[in-house]
Structure 1
Amino acid sequence: MTRSYRILVTFIIIYMGILMHTIYAQNSQNTTLLGRFPFGDCRAVDVVGTLAYLNSGIYLRIVDFSDSAHPVELGRTVLPFPASEIAVNGSFAYVIQDDIDGFLIIDVSDPTNPAQTGFLNSVSSGSEMAVSDSLVYVADDEDGLQIINVSDPSNPTETGFFDTGGTASDVAISGSLAYVADGAEGLRIIDISDPANLTEIGFLDTEQYTHTLAVSDSLACIVDWSDSLRIVDVSNPGNPMELGTAELPEFVIDLVISGRFTYVADGFGGLRIVDINDP
């Protein structure tokens, strides 16, 4: 299951359960609430197969939603602080803490008994991340883009860093490129083929504070504080070009591209589905 599909399932299963809105897809059939897991304040979630890994209060919970109408908790572990971001890859969950700096690695090979196995304190609270193989890419706010090597889960180490110049708020990885939503500095495109020698190859000035993005093939969807969804052609990473925009009514929390649609977690506006087939 691709990460895009995992995030899409996350939106439908989790965000709909939390927000409890009647949600409409523009020019599409109404979506349907399948189920919800009503334990605590969920700030972060990732999905692999039929398992959801979510933060609830001070817990990392692993929930089986193979029966989506009746999700079941399989196991949980106490976190030092609530999580702002969770990403699962293989047998490990990577957790960025909220309210305090720190990057945790949780062994989830046994879903009934998750256990912390590694820690790194150089990651700012509230950061976003993307995982590719044994590397974790962290959009580390004013500290730019950080790369963490997790090949030894008990001893994660920083292996690369790039000062983006702004406030790195979100990151997406596609091939050998990292796309960074860099606050007032717009969209940054960085060559990560050599983690020890990161190089910026492209830039787009959005003229707004860019905070969230998703990338699929040659398109990037980015969101700024004007609550505009901007569709950007990145087929030439050295010269990204804006193709079109869509106005959204609320502050966007997250988004994912799947096929011709962008699925947007639109804060109190619920889940919104935007057709980007004709940008």
Structure 2
Amino acid sequence: MLKDIKSKTAILSLLLLLSLNFFLVFPLSGIDFVVIKCCGNCQSLSNDGSKPFDYNVNLLSTWSQNFGLVKELLLVEKELFLIGGDKEIFILNTTDLTYPKLLGSYHNNSGALTAVHHAGRLFLGLQNGLEILDVQNYSSIEQLAFYETAAVHALCLDNETLFLSRGSFGVEILNIANLSAITPISMISTAGEAHKIVLKNDCLFIADSVNGLEIYNVSNYHSPVKIANYTDGSAFFDLVVDEQFAYILDSSGNFKILNITDILAIKKISEMSFVHPQKLLVENGTVFLAVKEQVVLINCTDPLMPSQITMVNATSDIIALRKKNSCLFMSEKEGIEIVSLENFTSPEILSRFGYSDIEKVLIAGGYLYALMGEEGVAIIKATGHSILQAVSNYRTSGRIVDFCIAGRYLYLAVKDTGVEILDVLEPENPQKVGEYLSSGNASSLAIADNYLLLADGVAVKVITVADPSHPQEVAQYVRSLFIPDKVRFYEGKALVIDRDRMQVAILELTFSTATGPELLFSGMITGSQFIHFVDVAMQEHYIYLSTGNSLQVYDSQAVSINSPILTIEKGSYYALKITNNLLYAIGNQNFQILTITDLEQVNRTEFPLLGSFLVDIDVEKEYIVIGNFLAGDDLYLFNHTYPLAVEKRVWPYIVLPIGGVVGLAIPIVLIVRFRKKKTLHS
């Protein structure tokens, strides 16, 4: 009997300990958010000292149309190679000259200065040597060899022999028959810096900074022999050679033509002076001379009397030139231009790219849309959401300042005209299907059902787009001393910002079958002389305003709408996006995600993107796209996991402690009953 009592007591004690353990693991005071991790190099911060929300964000891919400083251009069939001084190589298909498509890119060892393409291989002259790439597969470029030497300024290839111009170190001749063991053959020492080199008929022509033009017989690679020299005391730096003439640029700004028919008696036959000429190109008796922001075309069919034909104006200083058929390709300080020269007297710009920075972004149906000002809209396919490939570009006669998308239609706000409507059912071939001409300067768009809201600096206009080919204005809102320049839409409300006057108007959009939609004013939020409203978003009856260095929250149902109910000063806030009870914001080098289900406990997680200046953000399902204004990647594509709703996280903290109480009550009841039975038996 005693043994039975002890065993029962032991069991009851064990149950008691287990129930107490429930209290230790699941305390009643533990109702709070749980942090799992923050992916990457992000830094988790919060506004009110509470824990940041549980969130996973992963960078999937980036996209850029900012090619950096392109030092050299190469044309191989329909491919255009952009050789960058910023350690990047880009390859574009030029089948459509109005919008070359990026085929591939490669990050090389150091800044490239020059390049030569031959038989599927790209030979790069770098700051620190020579790099040879296999470029037969543009999507998977591979390094074949690297040879360390001084900075390579120019290259010449002769079968399995390569000539390297190395500035003050002269010219080096290499045997590249075995790429795994590139071997030097010989050296040519020059008096000054060897700049441009040209190989023609076993002769190597060298543009030298001291000795002018030097010519070597290199029929024997192991023992080059100097056979001629021409100098007039100036430093030569660019050079083109044909059968009869050498075309020279010197550092004093002079363009010279030398007769080299008799190598032993070279003669200067003509000369023209320019201010800071940079590059020289010669084709069929026409010289193309890059002079600052212009290309001067010179007729040299009579080399004794060269004459200027015309000039092609560029956007910025020209760095490199190439010509193919009737098209001139120009690498400039700020981008690339392709110009048609079918009519020399009236050159026509076919395309300009790499100039504009990203201003706005959209994501819809597996495609990204990037607004780039004067360069129009780039449509980018996200293949598997890991590879971003531009598939088309759409430009207008004016500057596109905003856009929005609904279904198969993309709506463009064009500053000087109004609205253009594109059918993007086939993103590779967007088609204009309609337009709306506005009396003001279009600045912002928002779409709601079949109605388009347009802010044009004069009014907020409601335009029906039920028939996209014939958009019609059906209502407008005008207010004295209020210039609408940004508009957003949320559940029957138009949120309109006048950024200059630091005001936000809230307009009720009501629908009537008789009169159509009407905009009725319902409230105004006024900033101060220190606060400029940048963007606006709304959820339920709360209005969220970004001011750059803060986020302000207003209650549209409050008595005094001018007083924010919450101001968050940690972080930077420019563009806003609300979805799934989360507010996404970007500013400076950071994007942030804030939980706004409970404004008394706003949790903020911050993800820094160092070296960037973020300008816009959009969200679709689990994907986030962010636009960057500075050099580097133009677009960032992330995926993110949705955190569980607060209500779903609270139940373990309530149910489990209750279970612990029940678990504790059971052994107590058993003990009491056991003792009662014992007393009765006694």
Answer yes or no: is the 8 Å Cα contact 2:294–2:318 preserved in 1.
no
- TM-score normalised by the chain length of structure 2: 0.37
Query: Could you tell me which residue of structure 1 aligns to residue 338 of structure 2?
Result: 273
* Structure 1 position 167 matched with structure 2 position 235: yes
* Structure 1 position 214 matched with structure 2 position 281: yes
State which of 103, 106, 121 in structure 2 corresponds to 1:51: 121
Inter-partner Cα distance in structure 2 for 1:145 and 1:248: 30
Answer yes or no: is the 8 Å Cα contact 1:101–1:122 preserved in 2.
yes
* Structure 1 position 110 matched with structure 2 position 178: yes
**Change in 2 beyond 3 A, CA 1:197/1:132:** same
Letter in 2 for 1:269: E
Deviation of the 1:172 alpha carbon:
0.6
Answer yes or no: is the 8 Å Cα contact 1:46–1:86 preserved in 2.
yes
Alignment of 1:134-153 (within 5 A): 134-153=202-221
**Change in 2 beyond 3 A, CA 1:152/1:243:** same
State which of 157, 181, 193 in structure 2 corresponds to 1:88: 157
**Change in 2 beyond 3 A, CA 1:247/1:141:** farther
Residue by residue over 1:155-176, the C-alpha shift from the partner in whole angstroms, topping out at 9 and shown as x without a partner, is: 2232211114533220111222
Letter in 2 for 1:271: I
Residue by residue over 1:209-260, the C-alpha shift from the partner in whole angstroms, topping out at 9 and shown as x without a partner, is: 3231010111110122x33210011111111111011122333222122221
Letter in 2 for 1:52: L
Answer yes or no: is the 8 Å Cα contact 1:172–1:179 preserved in 2.
yes
**Change in 2 beyond 3 A, CA 1:130/1:7:** farther
State which of 75, 80, 98 in structure 1 corresponds to 2:145: 75
Deviation of the 1:126 alpha carbon:
5.6
Inter-partner Cα distance in structure 2 for 1:72 and 1:158: 38
Inter-partner Cα distance in structure 1 for 2:285 and 2:124: 30
Query: Could you tell me which residue of structure 1 aligns to residue 248 of structure 2?
Result: 180
State which of 177, 193, 215 in structure 1 corresponds to 2:261: 193
Gaps of 5+ in 1: 1-5
Letter in 2 for 1:51: R
Deviation of the 1:185 alpha carbon:
4.8
Answer yes or no: is the 8 Å Cα contact 1:146–1:162 preserved in 2.
yes
* Structure 1 position 101 matched with structure 2 position 193: no
* Structure 1 position 203 matched with structure 2 position 271: yes
Deviation of the 1:134 alpha carbon:
1.1
Query: Could you tell me which residue of structure 2 aligns to residue 242 of structure 1?
Result: 308
Which deviates the most, 239-248 or 142-151? 142-151
Answer yes or no: is the 8 Å Cα contact 2:217–2:227 preserved in 1.
yes
Residue by residue over 1:17-75, the C-alpha shift from the partner in whole angstroms, topping out at 9 and shown as x without a partner, is: 95689x9x9x9411122222212222221111211111344231211101112111122
**Change in 2 beyond 3 A, CA 1:180/1:164:** farther
**Change in 2 beyond 3 A, CA 1:142/1:276:** farther
Inter-partner Cα distance in structure 1 for 2:191 and 2:132: 24
Inter-partner Cα distance in structure 1 for 2:296 and 2:210: 23
* Structure 1 position 65 matched with structure 2 position 135: yes
Answer yes or no: is the 8 Å Cα contact 1:172–1:215 preserved in 2.
yes
The number of aligned residues is 268
Answer yes or no: is the 8 Å Cα contact 2:299–2:309 preserved in 1.
yes
Gaps of 5+ in 2: 1-72, 345-682
**Change in 2 beyond 3 A, CA 1:116/1:270:** farther
Answer yes or no: is the 8 Å Cα contact 1:127–1:169 preserved in 2.
yes
* Structure 1 position 158 matched with structure 2 position 226: yes
Deviation of the 1:15 alpha carbon:
2.4
Inter-partner Cα distance in structure 2 for 1:258 and 1:18: 26
Answer yes or no: is the 8 Å Cα contact 1:169–1:211 preserved in 2.
no
Q: Secondary structure at the match of 1:33?
A: strand
Letter in 2 for 1:75: A
Inter-partner Cα distance in structure 2 for 1:39 and 1:19: 6
- TM-score normalised by the chain length of structure 1: 0.85
Answer yes or no: is the 8 Å Cα contact 2:294–2:313 preserved in 1.
yes
Inter-partner Cα distance in structure 2 for 1:125 and 1:9: 30
Letter in 1 for 2:195: S
Letter in 2 for 1:76: F
Answer yes or no: is the 8 Å Cα contact 2:170–2:194 preserved in 1.
no
State which of 298, 308, 320 in structure 2 corresponds to 1:254: 320
Answer yes or no: is the 8 Å Cα contact 1:77–1:113 preserved in 2.
no
Q: Secondary structure at the match of 1:196?
A: helix
Inter-partner Cα distance in structure 2 for 1:269 and 1:61: 26
Which deviates the most, 211-220 or 250-259? 250-259
**Change in 2 beyond 3 A, CA 1:164/1:9:** farther
Answer yes or no: is the 8 Å Cα contact 2:125–2:152 preserved in 1.
yes
